[in-house]
Structure 1
Amino acid sequence: MTTHGESTPWFRRYPATGTPRRRLVVLPHAGGSAGFYHAWGHAFGGGTDVLVAKYPGRHDRLTDTCIDRMDVLADRVTAALLPFTDLPVTLFGHSMGASLAYEVTLRLQERHAVRPAALHVSSCKAPHRLTPRDLYRKGDAALIAELRRLGGTDTALLDDPDVQELILPAVRADFTVVGTHGPREATPVGCPVHAWIGDADPGTSPQEMAAWGDVAPHGFGLRVLPGGHFYLVEQHDTLVDEVSEHLARTAAHGEQNANGK
């Protein structure tokens, strides 16, 4: 039985230092890992329990079979998250993680009568505006070139054949998730949606991010920050501050709406 004092196969947990009042669930980008978000662990105040998803095929799940379909990934993450929905839950997803966060939100509210306090999405087109690419069908060189284009990965590491051998299976699986998912119906979520985008993102524009408002009848906000696809690295402090403000404001909403109430 899962207890709230330990990490799980699916989540690296950063426990609240005080009495937990809310949970922030972070869903990484394609090719990303929980380690990328380590600095987020205790950045949101003593009352926030932070869970960062650990996708299979990397780090301490290196020998686990990678998942290459969004529906399977969303089902698994949702099931792993259910034991942690006793407090208001906010989901934050970056890039592929934003699409995943949306799918998990729908599953929570439609299948389990749990409505998150808020959905936070970053650097990803809205579900009904997705334009899947067939990059996952191409060779390793094309995948490495895409990682370089987007940034967020140390270039020197990408030059190392041993590192490439280690990371490429998970990268290809994630790019398959992205390349075979959407566009899909713009099904509304039962919570506010907050969106962030870098002003120089090579794959998504502020106008495209604004389309998330179509699935947000309970409130929508968009912030454009300086930077590219991984603006959240150089804008770490600003983004964390803004997410913290939203967490504080939506905690009461989550308490009222948890378990479909």
Structure 2
Amino acid sequence: MTLDNWFVSHPEKGRCEKRLYCFPFAGGTASAYREWHGNIPGVEICALQYPGKENRIRENPISDFETLVDNICSAISVKEGVPFAFFGHSLGGKVAFEVAKRLSERGRIVPEYLFISGSRAPHLPARKQIHHLNDNEFVSALAQYGGTPQAVLENQELMKFFLPMIRADFALDETFVSQRESKISVPICTFSGKEDNIAPCEEVMGWSQYTYGAFNSFELEGGHFFLKEHQHFLWEQIGRLMFL
């Protein structure tokens, strides 16, 4: 497995002073952050591409959390060169945190900031697990999350192809539990949706226990995918905190 296909980036004109690694939600791809490119001044966006997705469609999904984290750490080490931060939504928030923790344990350069969106604190179990459901029940549950276009959900051929990859992501998210003592020195900023019943605001606030550094939080209108409605606000706050 090569290390240069883990992140999708579009270098901006001129030199970027910093880099933001973006980690997708369960079932998501690097394309989820396509609109982020060029919208945080001075910051290069590098979006994580999970195996089995888009340009990595021929690869098998990784269902083991530790293996996934190890591979991402290796890929980031290859790209070292400018100060960087992490942003992760839902599953991406947990992956981003574990990668930051693993980099610290290895004595590597760690992110200057960790931005976590729509992700319950990792010691809190999923309120409802769906990865084990049969295909019809799983698709119905996906529809309730709101992150998958209805046209895709109703296309049986597409769903037959993509379900194993999406299910693998949800298995990672729903079965991973971290320990409260797993603190890092990296400051954390969280974003949560006031109507999110997947990762309620109070459960997202639990991330305050995972840093020795500063902690900031923002509660925004919307459900689990509130970030789609508040992209400009997220870009503004992330850019501000990255350049403090």
The residue that corresponds to 1:25 in the other structure is 21
Is the 2:87–2:114 contact (alpha carbons within 8 Å) kept by the matching residues of 1? yes
> RMSD of aligned C-alpha atoms?
1.7
Match of 2:119 in 1: 124
CA deviations over 1:60-105 (Å, ceiling 9, x no partner): 1111010112111111111111122221110000000000000000
Partner of 1:149: 144
What is the CA distance between 1:132 and its match in structure 2? 7.1
- Whole-angstrom CA distance in 2 between matches of 1:235 and 1:228: 11
User: Which is richer in helix?
Assistant: 1
Q: CA separation in 2, counterparts of 1:97 and 1:149?
A: 19
Counterpart in the other structure of 2:240? 245
Rounded Cα–Cα distance in structure 2 between residues aligned with 1:100 and 1:189: 14
In structure 2, the residue matched to 1:55 is: 50
Contact 2:39 2:235 in 1 (8 A): yes
Query: Contact conserved, 2:52 with 2:59, CA < 8 A, in 1?
Result: yes
Inter-partner Cα distance in structure 2 for 1:69 and 1:195: 25
Equivalent residue number for residue 135 of structure 2: 140
Q: Aligned letter for 1:54?
A: Q
> Aligned pair in 2 of structure 1 residues 84, 132: CA closer, same or farther (>3 Å)?
farther
Q: Answer whether contact 1:57 1:169 (CA < 8 A) is retained.
A: no
Q: Determine if contact 1:69/1:176 at 8 Å carries over to the other structure.
A: no
How far has the Cα of 1:142 moved from its partner? 2.3
Q: Which amino acid aligns with 2:60?
A: T
Q: 1:75 aligns with which of 58, 70, 81?
A: 70
- Does residue 221 (structure 1) correspond to residue 219 (structure 2)? The answer is no
1:153: how far off? 1.3
Say whether the 8 Å CA contact 1:132–1:178 is kept in structure 2: no
Q: How many residue pairs get matched?
A: 243
Hey, what does 1:41 align to over in structure 2? 37
The answer as to 2:99 corresponding to 1:104 is yes
Structure 2 Cα separation of the partners of residues 150 and 129 of structure 1: 19
Give yes or no for contact 1:126–1:209 (8 Å, CA) kept in 2.
Answer: yes
Structure 1, gaps ≥5 residues long: 250-261
Letter matched to residue 149 of structure 1: Q
Equivalent of 1:90 in 75, 85, 95: 85
Percent identity reads 29
**Partner of residue 255, structure 1:** none
Q: Which structure 2 residues correspond to residues 175-190 of structure 1 after superposition, within 5 A?
A: 175-190=170-185
**Aligned partners of 2:225 and 2:126: how far apart in 1?**
19
CA distance in 2, matches of 1:77, 1:190: 20
The answer to whether the 8 A contact 2:21-2:84 is kept is yes
Q: 3-state DSSP class of the match of 2:95?
A: helix
Counterpart amino acid of 1:64? E
Once residues 184 and 216 of structure 1 are traced to their aligned partners in structure 2, the CA distance between those partners, rounded to angstroms, is 13
CA distance in 1, matches of 2:127, 2:205: 18
In structure 1, what residue type is equivalent to 2:20?
L
SS in 2 for 1:17: coil
Alpha-carbon distance in 2 for matches of 1:173, 1:188: 27
Give every structure 1 segment of 4 or more consecutive aligned residues whose post-TM-superposition deviation is greater than 4 Å.
none
Structure 2 unmatched ranges of 5 or more: none
The farther-off stretch of 14-23 and 206-215 is: 14-23
